[in-house]
Structure 1
């Protein structure tokens, strides 16, 4: 095996030490998560930054036990689905753990969903119960499904599954359990192979689908995420969770992984930048997992200097590629902290690779080395052949954290997971010679620039022939063409094939400009080239950069076909809650104006 982890069979293997996965078949993710609580019972586990409420690990365990009994008393059985439709709070993971502890299946939804968007997921998942908050009541009131409110005020209405759905508060649910101190007997029958979570993702084929993740998937991902901490022997980390817990990243990488390791988790219900900074300071947060827009703000906004963020040891980013220049700029603002990057997707329980915070070259712009026990291939998009280091292709992965498939969708499952267990990510990337993986962009988001220069060249030669009167057209064609055949051949090789432009590459370069706060690059239809890259840019408040300035800035750093054909200045870049740029929104707007 090469230094990169690349083997003769075309497979890249993790360079990290392997993790030891538990072999006990009857083991739930919750039993695994709480296995070491007796070693640190009074250590803070969950802290609510909005209310100040704190639960120790001992209180975490006892509350989850009570809630698991309560869900059983409400008629929630093994394999029933329970929807959690709520913003972050310390009650979110408590209900999540209680549901999965009894073998029921937790599914989550984005609180900003419209009734129409939510109804599509409800039809697919068919939950028996919805856990939500009073502020979202209008979105769920007409579904005729019993509700639990994650509210501090008690609601004494009786809950009866056989009549019109009533509403219980979180504390009603706790009271329903009585004085229990051990998990219900059904918990002991939960297997690692049982489905634990149903997370909805657009995946690799566009339409939202339910990703089936087992208890074993979450156990493996939790161990992978915290391996570097295990090797460092560090047991005193404080993670601020500002990323949504309904998302795979927040749920698997932050909530489950960190709590199973004994780390404290500080929850924020919504993101507001100054409040985020204030909480980092107040709770002396040592570790952050955020998304590129937050890294961008931390690097470029002067308000950061008003807060004492010296406790930070690590700033991690994922969900979208983070450029080398932006990583370096952020690192200068926070000298004690390692700025690292990770890579994952819902279908891999949010984890595939991660930078090491202590080993190797810093700020490469890569997504680090493969997580323990992960295998990968870089496969040619034209011939499906495995590629060696420094060659670009689709990223395929497999390992113990990979999903079982898409819920009620065998066709989409077959398109994503092949017969050998390889999950086709739909991402374009490559490995370098040191085993670092670089994620370039989504294959579907590449701008396809078609080179027509060869046809222009041939056209000009034929035109030249027509101007000669001393010989026939054929003679002229030979006379003008033969000396140029090498050049014609070279132009043909260079330009007849479609060039692919990765928007993320150009966006990374744009963000390195001192007067640019944010940027997005999308394809624009072109009569000759098919598609060309255009940019939408957010200027810094005191910036005076012009369209020409931006175009020249990029032109100096890229090949001609990657140059920006147009630059438009906007107030903000549309992004999802997980930090991914919503290029489709801008593309649709551009298309509607044509």
Structure 2
């Protein structure tokens, strides 16, 4: 069995085979190190293990059995971490809910997943999730209990203190036996896709798959013991939960959860807590770099940054390295169906490589670019990205037809993304299959157009979508966010694009907007932009 050296005691800690073993592993390997900082609370890995065990007994006291679904609808807090890992450690299956969901959306997932227990809050950003569900009168299926992690419990719910107190009556040997019975192939979570293009699907993932993927991810990005990681990405997302909580416990990294992205709070937090690891969208880092009072904060502990999503340009990577002195900057690509990771671009690559490629496949997995006939294409030829390996999901919840459409008989996951592989096997994402639009018979890839427009000095962000056109079939429509203090006009942007792109690729319309629509995970909501693009132009 693979072991990890404990640099405090000199002993070897056996690597965990399941998430049920993760807290014990972290306590054995990193015991007295600081594991978590949440407000005034500071816990070692040993204390964190004990808190998770208490939550495991509390889940047992509520009658949670192996395979039971436990939903969580709450922001990034220590209660989220301990309650979830406690339930999962005794065989429950996690079902996270987006904190921006409305009652109908949350109820749909609670019902479809068959959740028996809901962990939630009352008061996050002024939202009472319990009241939302109650007032909407939605069908919650087999839900039999609701635990309020923070805030006063409502009638018919269980408060956090009472939840833990009930667990005190469960003998710890019973908890330990239940944890020992969990197997690597057991289902660990059902993460629902964002549903930006239709009804969300529940992605099934196992304990063993999650641990293997994020061991390799942590190694690839150079996450290391002693790092201090500001967890801004929402825990309901695969990246916030697994590249955050799970990776930190595997590597002995201090977790500093943040409920919302607020630079006025984050800047002093990074300085005071000597944060060394920060992950986010390009918008996060642009905002950080451009903050007028950034120089007043000591950010010198930052050493590792992950930049994901669209809009990563070489200039951003260069600024992060020059102005923040963060030399280790990586990019990556993944989707929920690939347990969050397909490729990782090494953090020591040059700025252009980090900005324009997602790097090579996760070790031990395969990535191909294929044509319409499914045959592999040579380097430099764009086609659909397909993935095969231990990172591919078990399937979609209660949807064998969708599973069969997405994962073929040979085990290849069809991502729906268009990409190009170079001679090194580094993947560059071109676009989504569904985002490609056809102008007079020619394929136009929005990402290519967006990358050109982002090079304009008076634009800070841009998104391009296709819209119907009576003559050409479709044309490009660009929505752009002007740089601070700038006001570029459409003629200026059209001229810029025409100098750098074939005529059919140049957007026919440009619309300034204060910001681009994104969901809570930072994903651009192009469906909204398409609807706007199809509206008649104002007279």
| TM-score, L = length of structure 2 | 0.89
- Output the CA distance in 1 between the equivalents of 2:246 and 2:236: 12
Partner of 1:577: 520
Q: Does the CA contact (< 8 Å) of 1:576 and 1:582 recur in 2?
A: yes
**Most deviating of 103-112 and 115-124:** 115-124
The equivalent position to 2:458 in structure 1, one of 515, 520, 527, is: 515
Q: Superposed, which structure 2 residues align to 1:230-241 within 5 Å?
A: 234-241=224-231
Q: Superposed, which structure 2 residues align to 1:378-457 within 5 Å?
A: 378-380=369-371, 382-450=372-440
Partner of 1:146: 145
- Output the CA distance in 1 between the equivalents of 2:248 and 2:452: 33
**What SS does the aligned partner of 1:134 have?**
strand
- Output the CA distance in 2 between the equivalents of 1:421 and 1:32: 29
Partner of 1:212: 204
Partner of 2:294: 304
Q: Does the CA contact (< 8 Å) of 1:298 and 1:330 recur in 2?
A: no
- Output the CA distance in 1 between the equivalents of 2:65 and 2:84: 15
| TM-score, L = length of structure 1 | 0.81
Partner of 1:90: 78
Per-residue deviation, residues 141-198 of structure 1 (Å, max 9, x unmatched): 3447421111166x6x9xxxxxxx8322222222222286564312111111110001
- Output the CA distance in 2 between the equivalents of 1:429 and 1:321: 16
Partner of 1:76: 64
Partner of 2:324: 334
Partner of 2:191: 199
Partner of 2:7: none
Partner of 1:370: 361
TM-superposed CA distance for 1:550, in Å, is 1.3
CA distance 1:510–1:229, shift in 2 (3 Å): closer
Q: Does the CA contact (< 8 Å) of 1:288 and 1:314 recur in 2?
A: yes
Where does structure 1 lack aligned partners over 5 or more consecutive residues? 1-18, 158-164, 451-497
- Output the CA distance in 1 between the equivalents of 2:55 and 2:76: 18
CA distance 1:173–1:337, shift in 2 (3 Å): farther
- Output the CA distance in 2 between the equivalents of 1:229 and 1:326: 18
TM-superposed CA distance for 1:303, in Å, is 4.2
**What SS does the aligned partner of 2:245 have?**
helix
**What SS does the aligned partner of 2:106 have?**
helix
Partner of 2:530: 587
Q: Does the CA contact (< 8 Å) of 1:328 and 1:363 recur in 2?
A: no
CA distance 1:518–1:229, shift in 2 (3 Å): closer
Q: Does the CA contact (< 8 Å) of 1:449 and 1:529 recur in 2?
A: yes
TM-superposed CA distance for 1:301, in Å, is 4.3
Q: Does the CA contact (< 8 Å) of 1:63 and 1:94 recur in 2?
A: yes
CA distance 1:220–1:528, shift in 2 (3 Å): same
Q: Which structure is higher in strand share? A: 2
TM-superposed CA distance for 1:328, in Å, is 3.1
- Output the CA distance in 2 between the equivalents of 1:336 and 1:222: 22
Partner of 1:279: 269
Partner of 1:126: 114
CA distance 1:572–1:359, shift in 2 (3 Å): closer
The equivalent position to 2:243 in structure 1, one of 253, 257, 261, is: 253
Per-residue deviation, residues 394-417 of structure 1 (Å, max 9, x unmatched): 110112122100000011100100
Per-residue deviation, residues 201-237 of structure 1 (Å, max 9, x unmatched): 047974301100110111112211111367x8x4211
**Is residue 555 of structure 1 aligned with residue 498 of structure 2?**
yes
- Output the CA distance in 2 between the equivalents of 1:535 and 1:395: 25
The equivalent position to 1:38 in structure 2, one of 28, 36, 41, is: 28
**What SS does the aligned partner of 1:556 have?**
helix
- Output the CA distance in 2 between the equivalents of 1:433 and 1:562: 27
- Output the CA distance in 2 between the equivalents of 1:67 and 1:259: 17
Where does structure 2 lack aligned partners over 5 or more consecutive residues? 5-13, 124-128
RMSD: 2.5
Q: Does the CA contact (< 8 Å) of 1:130 and 1:146 recur in 2?
A: yes
- Output the CA distance in 2 between the equivalents of 1:441 and 1:299: 27
Per-residue deviation, residues 493-527 of structure 1 (Å, max 9, x unmatched): xxxxx322222222223223222122221112222
- Output the CA distance in 1 between the equivalents of 2:285 and 2:180: 43
Q: Does the CA contact (< 8 Å) of 2:494 and 2:507 recur in 1?
A: yes
**What SS does the aligned partner of 2:364 have?**
coil
Q: Superposed, which structure 2 residues align to 1:443-522 within 5 Å?
A: 443-450=433-440, 498-522=441-465
- Output the CA distance in 2 between the equivalents of 1:249 and 1:152: 27
**What SS does the aligned partner of 1:184 have?**
helix
Q: Does the CA contact (< 8 Å) of 1:532 and 1:564 recur in 2?
A: yes
TM-superposed CA distance for 1:276, in Å, is 2.0
Q: Does the CA contact (< 8 Å) of 2:311 and 2:461 recur in 1?
A: no
**What SS does the aligned partner of 1:106 have?**
strand
Per-residue deviation, residues 114-134 of structure 1 (Å, max 9, x unmatched): 111112212211211100001
- Output the CA distance in 1 between the equivalents of 2:98 and 2:144: 18
* More contact order relative to length (CA 8 Å, sep ≥ 6): 1
CA distance 1:438–1:276, shift in 2 (3 Å): same
- Output the CA distance in 2 between the equivalents of 1:557 and 1:169: 60
**What SS does the aligned partner of 2:25 have?**
coil
CA distance 1:198–1:591, shift in 2 (3 Å): same
- Output the CA distance in 2 between the equivalents of 1:448 and 1:66: 57
Q: Does the CA contact (< 8 Å) of 2:279 and 2:305 recur in 1?
A: yes
Partner of 2:126: none
